[in-house]
Amino acid sequence: MNYTFTKYNSTDKEYFTLLDESCYRPVVERQFGEWNIELQNEFQNNKLQKLPLQIITFDNTRIGCIAFEKFSDHTFIHEILIHPTFQGQGHGSNILKTIAKSSLEKSLPIKLQVLKQNLAINLYKRLGFKKTGTTETHFIMQKNA
């Protein structure tokens, strides 16, 4: 598959904002009952300032974004968003497998957290992630080599 990852820059803000809402709104409404625009804008701005976001392009079409970091003892996936139009086509699986490959070859686990009502939990389980913890709002998951 032909994926490219481009570092997020300020010209991507409108795309990211629309992507974030299209991916998270159904999850947030299931889990919390409403989409609070002020709170969500705060979460989005925090992501934009703190995460190493990359725009994912497939065959010259932007399909989502990802943020992950490689540490000495694990890889942490902060965020993976695939636009709903492109979900269910294997993109999330392929991208996660690509990122996981180098960590798993070094026997390093891959970690992430996911909102409890996020259907992506099913994808993570299919890819071998196991629940290792919980917070009030999230499941902590890990895949070992």
Residue 52 and residue 43: Cα distance in Å, rounded? 15
Whether 39 has a pLDDT exceeding 70, the answer reads yes
Could you give the domains of the chain?
Answer: 3-143 (3.40.630.30)
DSSP 40-100: HHHHHHHHHHHS-EEEEEETTEEEEEEEEEE-SS-EEEEEEEE-GGGTTSSHHHHHHHHHH
Is the model's pLDDT at 117 over the cut of 80? Answer: yes
Average pLDDT over residues 50-58: 97
Judged against a pLDDT cut of 70, whether residue 62 lies above it is answered with yes
Torsion on CA atoms 46, 57, 1, 103, rounded to nearest 10: -30
Query: What pLDDT, on the 0 to 100 scale, is given for residue 100?
Result: 87
Q: How confident is the model at residue 43 (pLDDT cuts 50, 70, 90)?
A: very high
Task: Say what the pLDDT of residue 1 is.
Answer: 64
Predicted local distance difference test score (pLDDT) of residue 71:
94
Predicted TM-score (pTM) of the model is 0.92
pLDDT of 78-111, one tens digit each?
Answer: 999 999 999 999 999 999 998 888 888 889 999 9
Signed CA dihedral, 68, 128, 94, 35: sign only: negative
What are the pLDDT digits (tens) for 20-29? 999 999 999 9
Percent of the chain clearing pLDDT 70 (strictly above): 99
